[in-house]
Structure 1
């Protein structure tokens, strides 16, 4: 019973795009007609059977003829032969000689009904792999898996929605909207999918269509915190500030322990020129962050910006210093600190802050010119 193990590099195996693999010759060589039992990460906790297959053709090649063959390397999923050789050396512990034989194995995946071994739910297996790739930010690979799962069941609402989310993260908003529309044709009142469509339309630059979708999501459930959050943001983009503030105030009554809600409200109040109220919102966001350093730092930075607009530079500096204590190398925070130090006429300290920015990003023009201005005031 020949067994093949595939890894994350072999994502095209799951999707059916790839139907060949290259392996060092076994003691019992594979031959045409052999049945293959194929697994994902055979020797790890992620071990999972992915399919059975029949060998359709086998070619034998010497390693010396394989190791510089870019065409075969790309067919095996590598960028070039150098990358393939590097991986082969790891896989075979460096024990490869020029005269060693390798097999190029061409196979055909079998339908689950034709398997002889244990059968699996192929759609569930592919979906699980897609979700793992999505959650780890490997969107170019997860979209291939979602497509493969949709070939098995093109009317699965979960898959259509997830593929829409995936395409949105790849910047393919038109494709994302198509997926959401297909899902909504099956589940028309799903507020989450309607809201996801609104977000995709917003990112695609069609703000009024985004508001129409948000209206539909709101009608489906006017108390859904996610729907309300994005509705407030869309209204803010449309400069409908008073309406947006009403939405955020309603959201606070429903989800008032969420620091992101208070941050969003603070941003809006800043844009409305209500700076003291904005600072109160940012303070609440910091209070609720409960050790979430990224949210703490962001709220502190925005609070500092509001204090600058109020002309309270010492308080602004305190905010930026607190944000930098959390994220020491954040360029935006360091740049803002330098600006407020300039306002306080502490030019030497401002130069130090701008130098830290330029150390991280030598091409930052703001830091360069502001530093030059500081040097003129020494």
Structure 2
């Protein structure tokens, strides 16, 4: 369901441990550490966290264990806990670049851009040639709505490594934000000269060329259009509310094909906001993604994809109840979308409503028997319920 245009290119992020963070002592703690890492490789993050905690009970002074526990917390989107773990690791091993990089990423996801910038500044102070830090800070500035600041930072990065195709691409995106479409096209051309095989750069260039032509066309139109006399007022353009048949039965709306919006003039603009929201989501800028999905839904409230994707962004922001509400909206519009059932199941599981989560995964499996997410979700719910019953004698929310 979720579409990922992913305009920005990310590479060389230090989201994996360096060699100094792969060693744990004594042997008993090392064995638990290895089990935790095995669980991480299987995407079983809660189980990994349990092994890391057990190992920390043996060796609480291990920066590696705190760091890896932070990684597990981050994968589970327990971002505040992840930051706390990274801080513990930095208290033991201050100045470790891998830890600081991952702390910065967690802070970005939390929306603490000021904290993230401080981390990137520390990294640049430790190593002025750290291109990941320059790019990370540039991405934060772009997310803050400061494309000029982002361009300056990407330029610093390119002064270190002029053959970084990702930096040229991201710089092009920032230039587009300032309306400098010609310069953006030039930046994309530089990226393509380095790596012509990256499809998203070609797409970004195509969009920039289109915007450049539109800007030039509008400039010609404005030049040749007589201005309105001062004593005449321009009439505002007002969009009439568009009612979507079947969306709100309680309000007495009736119509054909419930859940499908009828074509109208705002469809293209609605799609543009949806695509922009998807881009923001793919960059981890969930607040801005939600804003764009809201704009898309204002123009076309019958778009179940926008409701689903807004739910994903809310879930990433830790707003599970609001995410579930969005999934319910999507299912009102299209009650046979198994992907939305899977997403709702994931949200309910995170909330601790294991029984309801199981029902969602079961519904998804009924709609699509080949859905691995549905099968894995049902298995995970059954295991969780069985473990809870074994431990407590009844079903209750996991700690």
TM-score using structure 1 length: 0.46
Name the structure where strand makes up a greater proportion of residues.
1
Name the structure where helix makes up a greater proportion of residues.
2
User: Highest CA radius of gyration, 1 or 2?
Assistant: 1
Bigger relative contact order, structure 1 or 2 (CA pairs below 8 A, ≥6 apart): 2
TM-score using structure 2 length: 0.44
